[in-house]
Amino acid sequence: MAKTNSPPFRWVKSSYSTENGGACVEWAPEGATAAGIVPIRDSKCPDGPVLVVSTSAFTGLVALARSAEL
């Protein structure tokens, strides 16, 4: 995991996020475009650690999340 003081990305909240502080994640699409990696972080802790995964791993994670019963 990396700290968020890495490159300054524009963070995008998950579509499952709520305005009430629900459990949610953010991702930085520019990372996927610029470096082929996808930074992911906890939106409630923007200064905390950042998980960095490959674009193919992120695609798999999104597919898994979409297929899960919530």
| Share above pLDDT 70 across residues of the chain, in percent, rounded to a whole number | 77
49 CB neighbour count, 10 Å cutoff: 13
Using the structure block, give the residue that is written with the tokens 């995991």.
1
Residue 16: per-residue pLDDT: 65
Give the domain range for residue 46.
Answer: 1-6+25-70
CA atoms within a 13 Å half-sphere pointing along the CA-CB vector of 26: 20
0.85 exceeded by pTM: no
Q: Is residue 12 part of a domain?
A: no
What mean pLDDT is reported for the chain? 80
Evaluate whether residue 44 is within a structural domain: yes
Q: How many domains does the chain have?
A: 1
For residue 11, is it within any domain?
Answer: no
How far apart CA 66 and CA 60 sit, in angstroms, is 10
Q: Please check whether residue 61 lies inside any domain of the structure.
A: yes
Q: What pLDDT sits at residue 4? A: 44
Is 59 contained in some domain? yes
